């Protein structure tokens, strides 16, 4: 006598309580945040085009330092844009919903093994890269620290991008020192995050071996 078959919908699924359903669905509240970051990405694309046009249009009248600073500024925009992509794609995949990109030819390599810990380490490394670009721009501009007076407030915004032709500086010795210290703190923080992640992964692997 054959046994009665169990419906697939009953055997293969677990029905959540209304409270559990509400709590789990609350993850979709993050969707407007990621959409906002996509808008911010569009703003950075516009900023990149604006800076690139400024570089091409004014290149004949610029000095080497000015061109170098503008190029570093473009690299800075690209790295921040990469950080935004990492947060949007990785964050949505980790905390909201699967993107189901398995087998897609354009799937990012890092997305196949992304989780909250990996995302934190990658974000920390991206922030260090951005900080390095800012610090390099500061070091280039710092070469004129002792030869120029400090800029008044109305000229501070343009002084950093016109180092070769500037008549004043927006930097101070203490400012350069503190920027260097902050960059070192970023590096130490990233090392701490990576070490903690490695320690947690090692502990989890030991537990799995003990179970089996």
In a domain, 116, yes or no: yes
Domain count along the chain: 1
In a domain, 22, yes or no: no
pLDDT band at 175, cuts 50/70/90? confident
How far apart (Å, rounded) are the C-alpha atoms in residues 116 and 99?
A: 16
Mean pLDDT of 91-109: 82
The residues with which 150 forms a beta bridge, in sequence order, are 169
Higher pLDDT, 210 or 91: 91
The C-alpha angle 156, 157, 163, rounded to 5 degrees, equals: 75
In a domain, 23, yes or no: no
In a domain, 4, yes or no: no
pTM of the model: 0.68
In a domain, 149, yes or no: yes
Q: Which CB contacts under 8 angstroms, 24+ apart, belong to 92-96?
A: 92/30, 92/34, 94/119, 95/27, 95/30, 96/27, 96/28, 96/30, 96/31, 96/34
Rounded (to 5) percent helix, strand, coil in the chain: 75, 0, 20
Higher pLDDT, 202 or 18: 18
Mean pLDDT of 120-144: 82
In a domain, 13, yes or no: no
In a domain, 9, yes or no: no
Mean pLDDT of 42-65: 90
Q: What tens digit of pLDDT does each residue of 8-53 get? A: 444 445 777 888 889 988 989 999 999 999 999 999 999 999 999 9
Q: Give pLDDT, residue 153.
A: 47
Highest mean pLDDT among 10-14, 55-59, 140-144 belongs to: 55-59
Residue 87 pLDDT more than 70? yes
Question: What H or E segment, with its residue span, contains residue 19?
Answer: helix 18-25
Structural domain range at position 195: 28-98+112-211
């Amino acid at each position: 006598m054959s046994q009665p078959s169990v419906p697939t919908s009953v055997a293969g699924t677990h029905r959540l309580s209304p409270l559990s359903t509400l709590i789990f669905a609350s993850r979709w509240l993050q969707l407007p945040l990621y959409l906002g970051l996509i808008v911010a990405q569009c703003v950075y694309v516009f900023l990149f085009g604006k800076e690139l046009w400024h570089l091409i249009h004014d290149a004949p009248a610029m000095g080497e330092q000015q061109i170098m600073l503008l190029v570093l500024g473009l690299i800075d925009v690209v790295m921040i844009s990469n950080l935004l992509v990492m947060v949007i794609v990785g964050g949505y995949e980790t905390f909201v919903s699967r993107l189901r990109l398995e087998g897609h030819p354009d799937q990012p390599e890092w997305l196949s093994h992304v989780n909250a810990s990996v995302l934190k380490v990658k974000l920390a490394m991206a922030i260090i890269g951005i900080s390095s670009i800012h610090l390099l721009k500061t070091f280039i501009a710092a070469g004129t620290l002792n030869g120029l007076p400090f800029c008044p407030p109305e000229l501070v915004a343009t002084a950093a991008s016109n180092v070769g032709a500037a008549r004043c500086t927006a930097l101070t010795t203490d400012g350069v020192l503190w920027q260097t210290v902050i960059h070192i703190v970023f590096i130490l923080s990233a090392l701490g995050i990576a070490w903690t992640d490695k320690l947690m992964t090692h502990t989890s692997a030991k537990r799995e071996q003990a179970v089996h």
